[in-house]
Amino acid sequence: MSKRHANLLQGTLDLLILKALTAGELHGLGVSRRIEQITRGTFLVQPGSLFPALHRLEEAGWLASTWQTSENNRRAKYYTLTRAGRRQLGEETADWNRIALAIARALDA
């Protein structure tokens, strides 16, 4: 059976980025890889979607960043969750769970 990749629903990329960073500091490519890992390959986030989202989350105060040298000796921006980002993750997770339950109920009706 082949793996199917899914399109991200509006708003889910932010949630997945916040979740990916709960494991610790990551650079952009690391965030993308972590999302692919935690979704078991269902979501492959392209740079054209990822980097604007990272910037937006940083502007919102949910992420902090520092420039560091990556594992392949290149300069990369590393992201961490802020306290506000952890709160936001909690709120978005609760919202997502409520919505997913409502959709499941509707599909079972």
Query: What SS3 class is residue 65?
Result: strand
Q: Is the pLDDT of residue 97 over 90?
A: yes
Q: Which two tokens stand for residue 2?
A: 């082949």
Residue type, 60: A
Count of all residues that appear for the chain in the document: 109
- Mean pLDDT score across all residues of the chain: 92
Q: How far is CA 48 from CA 12, 44, 53, in A?
A: 16, 12, 9
**Is residue 77 one of the residues assigned to a domain?**
yes
**Is residue 72 one of the residues assigned to a domain?**
yes
Reported pTM: 0.89
**Is residue 1 one of the residues assigned to a domain?**
no
What is the chain's Cα-based Rg?
A: 15
**CA pseudo-torsion sign 45, 66, 20, 58:** negative
Give how many domains the chain has, as a whole number: 1
**Is residue 2 one of the residues assigned to a domain?**
no
Residue span of the structural domain in which 81 resides: 12-103
**Is residue 31 one of the residues assigned to a domain?**
yes
Q: Is the pLDDT of residue 93 over 80?
A: yes
Place of tokens 């889910």: 12
pLDDT tens sequence across 44-89: 999 999 999 999 999 999 999 999 998 889 999 999 999 999 999 9
CATH number at residue 22: 1.10.10.10
* Residue 14 CB-density burial (10 A; 0-12 exposed, 13-18 middle, 19+ buried): buried
**Is residue 94 one of the residues assigned to a domain?**
yes
**Is residue 75 one of the residues assigned to a domain?**
yes
Question: How far is it, in rounded angstroms, from Cα 46 to Cα 49?
Answer: 6
**Is residue 3 one of the residues assigned to a domain?**
no
